[in-house]
Amino acid sequence: MLRDCAPHLLVLVIAVVLVAPALAATDEVRITNDREHQILPDISGDWIVWTDYQNGNADIYGYDLKTGMIKQITEDTADQFDPAISGTRVVWTDLRNGNDYSWNTDIYLYNLKTRKEMHITDDAAPQGDPAIDGFRVVWTDLINGNADIVFYDIDTSERKEITSDKADQYGPAISGDRIVWTDRRNGNADIYMYDLDKGEERQITTEEADQYDPEIHENYIVWTDERNGNADIYMYDCLNNEERQITADEIDQSRPAVSDDTIVWMETRNGRKDIVRYDIGTRSESRLTTNTAERLWPAIYDERVAWTDLRNGKADIYLLDRDTERETTT
């Protein structure tokens, strides 16, 4: 089971770069303005990456926050989609090795600093859902006939199958030694974690309702949780072994992301989706977006939040610094 197997489902970096508005430190910035759709951003350090449809297929593009330049990362005519970034390393799901009779998606990596590409997986089974932290990459792999989590160390070439249960495990995220994912071995969706240093697996949630879409940064795990009859955001503190319910109203909150002491998520309120931020230390919540257009799929790194924005009649990538948010009451 790959999370995003729809058409939004590329590695030669071209020398041509397109100029976007330079980033002001405290302003909301429209990163893309092409007539086609740009979706599913991720952000790390000085780079934002996303899936881009301006060439008639799905490609990976990046934006350099220092220079204000947009760079096309992939140009293969097959689809490349669902990018993740850590520092200057970008990973994505790639269809260039498939054909009309097989859904053979692979994981590729590109280093924005060295300008080198790496083909990480090359077997006939589909791989997708990549995530990366430093030299470490994880993904969902169907090589065993069901969805499992696989780990790869770029520096040492170590490859390790993290899960082997016959049920599906998918949608991994990684931070340091910890890998988290959605796991269906108990008949519902739960959150599990694996510690690479200790070689130990741990079940994080035990509720009968579904918990899914986990993200992790250092000691904090966040996920979407349906135990209360709607979608809420929950958090687990690995340092203190404590679970916290972050949202409690009846509207849906989903697709959380976390960086340092901040959580962001997508919230359905007043008939549209907005992006909301939560400070873990102060337990205060604020809304980052307020107009009538929908905002989707937030990503966060340090003080900056990126998302997919529909205000212009199509999907664009926008960016906002944390200190420009608008405080709201909840």
CB neighbour list of residue 214: distance below 8 Å, 6 or more residues apart = 171, 173, 180, 181, 182, 191, 204, 221, 222, 223
CATH class name, domain 17-327: mainly beta
Separation of alpha carbons 319 and 144, rounded Å = 39
Instruction: Count the neighbouring beta carbons within 10 Å of the beta carbon of residue 221.
Output: 25
> Mean pLDDT of all residues in the chain?
89
Phi, psi of 117 (to 5 degrees): -105, 150
* Structural tokens at position 327: 């405080």
- Model pTM? 0.89
Task: Say how far residue 119 (Cα) sits from the centre of its chain.
Answer: 20
What would the pLDDT profile of 213-259 be if each residue is shown by its tens digit? 999 999 999 999 999 999 999 999 999 999 999 999 999 999 999 99
The SS3 assignment for 323 reads helix
pLDDT the model gives residue 239: 95
What would the pLDDT profile of 73-87 be if each residue is shown by its tens digit? 999 999 999 999 999
pLDDT at residue 328 tops 80: no
